[in-house]
Amino acid sequence: MHSSFPKVLHELAGEPMLGHVIAVAKSLTDKRGGRIRVVTGHGSDQVDPFVVQHGAEVIHQDEQLGTGHALRIATHDLDSGGQTLVLYGDVPLISEEDIDPLISEGQNHLAVLTAIVDEPDGYGRIVRDSDGGLIAIVEHHDASEEERAICEINSGIYAAPTSLFQELLPNLSTSNAQNEYYLTDCVQLSVNSGREVRGFRGTTTAIMGVNDRSQLAELNQLLQRQRRNTLMASGVTLVDPDTVYLNGRHIDIRPDTIIEPHVTLNSPITVASHVRIGFGSQLTDVEIGENSVIKQYTVAESVSIGNDAQVGPFTRLRPGTELSDATHVGNFCEIKNAKVGRGSKVNHLSYVGDADVGQRVNVGAGTITCNYDGAYKHQTKFGNDVFVGSNTSLIAPITLGDGVTIGAGSVITSDVEPQSLALARSNQIHIPGYKRPKKTKD
């Protein structure tokens, strides 16, 4: 990967590859019971905290002696009465649908997930007997020309009784091109001992691994296409599907929503029905109510938007923003850590930060809540039915009572009583015959 990050922490559709695999494993253990162990080695100082954060156990492989060695240290103290499933942190598109049949096949035997591919270079080849029984897996480095012509490949994903792995793994050897303990040799050992090995053919995408950034991009496109197709099948319109990016697994969008081109949605996302998300918008951790319109180039993070709201174009909603029903936030406005009440409008070129805005408030163009004194943030409170004239500065902390009107161009530094008009302007001066300065020729 030519990176300072371990491969399994590179992101695929908004989430580290390892996160995809742990999520599938967690779903399985939630249904079937069990535990998740992640064997780490290279880059463990970065990988281990991620594993722990996601509720799995870390098993550290001090020496990189191959997949067989990794599984041996992972299973050495497990209850032999259970079953072990082997997954890989760089094979992130595996799903429960792929794994369930494998687990069934591996109840009493060693079961191997295989796939037929057009270009098998680099993969271990599945060798079968004349009856179709799986008798060996030959790594690419050790394969003959005849074996390299085989297009059925080993995924590296196995299921078997834990007791079988515990019996076979100590018998692995390093007599191979890589001088490593190959997990694949368990197949030959099992066959040699008279046991049947089950080979279950899965989907090609299930076994696709990542070894470089080009493959990572390829898998990202596959996963994005799956997610787009799932959305459209559920009743969501994607005007130009190939330009919409859905990052993260928690994206819930209801039918009859329309998503315009070049939109990026970063999980978690919850969108109700009959919403329109405009061209070029980027939404992260956002909840949107019914019939709302998010216009072009809106950027929003960690916000909630009510029903019948209008946002944008060119609006930025920062964390902590809560827009109630029927609110309007317009072009080149920024809202941060503020509640905006029902029917209120912040339509043009304004900044509202650390504020509590009541209902039916009109915030005029160019209004600024001056919330930062150089050391601390302070709040601005708007009552209901407040009208703020254009180009106004509100010096927090400050409270504007119900029905207050603020004259345009004011700098308001103290609380304003309900139903009052507040003005804070210097007297206008006229100087007849005023001559503007001019540049001299020299």
Tell me, yes or no, whether 90 lies in a domain: yes
- How many separate domains does the chain show? 2
* CATH, residue 182: 3.90.550.10
pLDDT score, position 142: 85
pLDDT given for residue 384 in this prediction: 98
Q: Could you tell me if residue 442 is inside a domain?
A: no
| Residue 280 shares a structural domain with residue 392 | yes
Q: What is the pLDDT of residue 439?
A: 82
Q: Are residues 159 and 289 in the same domain?
A: no
> Do 352 and 245 reside in the same domain of the chain?
yes
Task: Establish if 429 belongs to a structural domain.
Answer: no
298 located within any domain: yes
CB atoms within 10 A of CB 367: 24
**Residue 349 and residue 288 in one domain:** yes
Q: Number of H helices and number of E strands within the chain?
A: 8, 35
pLDDT higher than threshold 90 for residue 131: no
Give the residue-averaged pLDDT of 232-260: 97
- Mean pLDDT score, 289-302: 98
Average pLDDT over residues 260-280: 98
Where residue 442 falls among pLDDT bands split at 50, 70, 90? low
**The tokens 């799903």 sit on which residue?**
95
Q: Is residue 10 flagged as an active site residue?
A: no
Cα–Cα dist 238/232, whole Å = 7
Sequential DSSP letters for 208-272: ---SSHHHHHHHHHHHHHHHHHHHHHTT-EESSGGG-EEESS-EEE-TT-EE-SS-EEEEEEEE-
pLDDT for 375: 95
Please enumerate, as own/partner, the contacts of 129-137 that have beta carbons within 8 Å and a separation of 24 or more: 133/196, 133/197, 134/187, 134/197, 134/198, 134/199, 135/187, 135/188, 135/191, 135/197, 136/187, 136/188, 136/191, 137/112, 137/184, 137/185, 137/187, 137/188
Are 139 and 277 in a shared domain? no
Q: Is residue 318 part of a domain?
A: yes
**Same domain for 368 and 417?**
yes
- Give the helix/strand (H/E) hosting 382: strand 380-382
Structural domain harbouring 69: 7-207
| 43 inside domain | yes
Question: pLDDT tens, 26-79?
Answer: 999 999 999 999 999 989 999 999 999 999 999 999 888 999 999 999 998 999
What CATH number should be reported for the domain holding residue 357?
2.160.10.10
Is there a single domain that holds both residue 234 and residue 182? no
CA distance 416 to 424: 12
Q: What is the predicted pLDDT for the residue at 129?
A: 87
Q: How many CB atoms lie within 10 A of CB 293?
A: 19
Which of 175, 207, 239 is the endpoint of a domain?
A: 207
Residue 300, in any domain of the structure? yes
Residues 199 and 325 in one domain: no
**Shared-domain flag, residues 21 and 128:** yes
How far apart CA 35 and CA 79 sit, in angstroms, is 11
CA distance linking residue 88 with residue 348, whole number of Å:
51
Asked whether residue 109 is assigned to any structural domain, the reply reads: yes
251 and 318 assigned to the same domain:
yes
Q: Which two tokens stand for residue 351?
A: 């900044």
* pLDDT tens-place string over residues 142-193: 889 899 999 999 898 999 999 999 999 999 988 777 888 988 889 889 988 8
Q: Residue 425: pLDDT above 90?
A: no
DSSP reduced 3-state for 162: helix
Kindly tell me if the per-residue pLDDT of 361 is higher than 80. yes
Distant-in-sequence, close-in-space partners of 375: CB < 8 Å, separation ≥ 6: none
Of 154, 178, 207, which residue is a domain's last? Answer: 207
Please tell me what DSSP assigns to residue 298: -
pLDDT value of position 114: 93
The reply to whether 197 and 113 lie within a common domain is yes
Q: Give the model's confidence band at 326: pLDDT under 50 very low, under 70 low, under 90 confident, else very high.
A: very high
**Candidates 54, 109, 274, 348; catalytic one:** 348
21 shares a domain with 111: yes
The per-residue pLDDT for range 93-126, each reduced to its tens digit, is 999 999 999 999 999 999 999 999 988 888 889 9
Share of the chain above pLDDT 90, in %: 80
